[in-house]
């Protein structure tokens, strides 16, 4: 059974720091891995999606890497800002032999607080 783990559960950093969030998964049979952002009381916003054949994706100050063989992904945030404060969720889309459509399996998230 696929399990997704995120470490640390919470992180506090001063503004301007570069930081790394970690995600690990137990089964490498995935279509893709996504990183989401969730603000308090809000829904989820997709940040980056990495296909299983890719190694990384970049968007602005965000860079996500994927090492499928070791079951790991990292989300790198450069020059953090107070507006980056949110919960960051990692999710994998597992492969199924019977059909292409599958739901996401989520980690419990890392809550980031960036102080000014």
**Interface residue list for other proteins (CB under 8 A):** 31-32, 34, 36, 41-46, 49, 51-52, 89, 91, 93, 99-109
Between residues 18 and 26, which has the closer beta carbon with respect to other proteins?
Answer: 26
Smallest distance, other proteins to C-beta of residue 103, A: 4
- Write the secondary structure of the chain as one string of H (helix), E (strand) and C (coil): CCCEEEECCEEEEECCCCEEEEEEECCCCEEEEEEEEECCCCCEEEEEEEECCCCEEEECCEEEEEECCCCEEEEEECCCCHHHCEEEEEEEEECCCCCCCCCCEECCCEEEEEEC
Between residues 60 and 101, which has the closer beta carbon with respect to other proteins?
Answer: 101
Between residues 60 and 100, which has the closer beta carbon with respect to other proteins?
Answer: 100
Please, which residues bridge with residue 94 across strands? 30
Smallest distance, other proteins to C-beta of residue 100, A: 6
Please, which residues bridge with residue 63 across strands? 58, 76
Between residues 36 and 65, which has the closer beta carbon with respect to other proteins?
Answer: 36
Smallest distance, other proteins to C-beta of residue 15, A: 28
């Amino acid at each position: 059974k696929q399990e997704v783990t995120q470490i640390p559960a919470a992180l506090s950093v001063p503004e301007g720091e570069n930081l790394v969030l970690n995600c690990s998964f137990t089964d490498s049979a995935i279509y893709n891995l996504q990183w989401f952002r969730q603000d308090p009381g809000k829904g989820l916003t997709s940040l980056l999606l990495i296909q299983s054949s890719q190694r990384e994706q970049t968007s602005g100050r965000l860079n996500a890497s994927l090492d499928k063989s070791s079951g790991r992904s990292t989300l790198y945030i450069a020059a953090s800002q107070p507006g980056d404060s949110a919960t960051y969720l990692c999710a994998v889309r597992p492969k199924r032999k019977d059909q292409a459509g599958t739901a996401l399996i989520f980690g419990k998230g890392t809550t980031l607080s960036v102080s000014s």
